[in-house]
Structure 1
């Protein structure tokens, strides 16, 4: 199915398939499998069975399913699977607004809508580009590992800021944030790379969060408490402002 064009009129031939395992996780899964087999060979059942289940969990954590990315110039797609935990008006991080000497401008230094997506250990942890364009910044910041569901995690935790600029000058900044269990942010891209919307940009190991800073004059199309899917769920449409209310049921 990869690369196949589908639409909302029924075009496209699709079917369910097992998701692939990202190479970053295969080594961890194989290590767990090896320990399980060794323990089974030595008749250490109390070790063999837990390690067998752990290996399945590791492979599941690093699964990398295909996604159908909406092809709409106005659309900002979710960069992460997970729960929309916070939506707030904030000023973007200094790393995304300051002059970094590269000759390219950052985000405007004014309040914008930030959508925070919390990823549990059960979610897919491959992060994707919310728009197509050129990677202008990739800034890694060491920090703490407090609960990624807390608002202060945006400023205190280990994190990585990414800025993508479209050809028309529209820029989107988003931040990968490590959490209580997460201990490494792994980038797949570098400044200067040109990406399509929904392209894989990196992952965060074992539970984390992604903050997305929408352009000025753009409201979120998702609600607090909503589950979103990386590369598929439309978080916002550029330039659209509208109150959307929901009822949890």
Structure 2
């Protein structure tokens, strides 16, 4: 199963690669060179296709849990001052996505979307300390009665040149449902209330829609 954001790119890539190989077979007489072009084309198309995969995730709905919004590796767990929306201290949990990770963004909690905003910006590498505030990004806040408001922020990186965000203010969303897509690597920050029990560790790999990154049951 593939994400809808990838169909156009996969189609264009396939057409271009087919055209290149047809030209190579008509213009190049050297067998090994034609084979090399074909092999590179197959590998490139495979990489593009796997990037846009959208595996089904059976999220266990639980209002006490805040789940990972994306696949990747936890690179930040720290208390920070969040100045865009809450304007107070929050626990920031950041997940870095490599180009080989699934890049679907999922809602970490279910509830009502109370804030959704796009910010144009730079394309610093995703692990840069200032990328959360200076890079192209979208910020979304979802609210429910159990955990209150949880913010997550999609952040573009050096490779990611387009962020897709489906969250609309006033919409009711299900935990683990599709919230957007980041094309070609980057990271997502989640901002939790201070005192929230964080269940993940630095360098831990998480799976979007599955891994519980925090628990508010206690």
TM-score, with normalisation over the residues of structure 2?
0.90
Q: Which runs of 4+ in 1 moved over 4 A?
A: none
Give how far 1:47 is off.
4.4
* In 2: Cα distance, 1:170 partner to 1:201 partner: 19
RMSD over aligned CA atoms reads 1.6
**Structure number having the greater strand percentage:** 2
**Structure number having the greater helix percentage:** 2
Partner in structure 2 of residue 130 of structure 1: 108
Q: Which of 102, 120, 123 is residue 145 of structure 1 equivalent to?
A: 123
Q: Which runs of 5+ in 2 are unaligned?
A: 29-33
Give how far 1:168 is off.
4.9
Q: Which of 159, 169, 189 is residue 211 of structure 1 equivalent to?
A: 189
Give how far 1:216 is off.
2.9
* In 2: Cα distance, 1:33 partner to 1:49 partner: 14
Q: Which runs of 5+ in 1 are unaligned?
A: 1-19, 98-108, 241-249
Partner in structure 1 of residue 160 of structure 2: 182
Give how far 1:118 is off.
0.3
TM-score, with normalisation over the residues of structure 1?
0.80
Deviations 1:171-219 (A, max 9, x none): 1001000001000101123111111100110011101000000123203
Partner in structure 2 of residue 244 of structure 1: none
Counterpart of 2:194 in 1: which secondary structure?
Answer: coil
Match runs of 1:21-32 below 5 Å: 21-32=2-13
- 1:117·1:209 contact (CA, 8 Å) conserved in 2? yes
Partner in structure 1 of residue 31 of structure 2: none
Partner in structure 1 of residue 98 of structure 2: 120
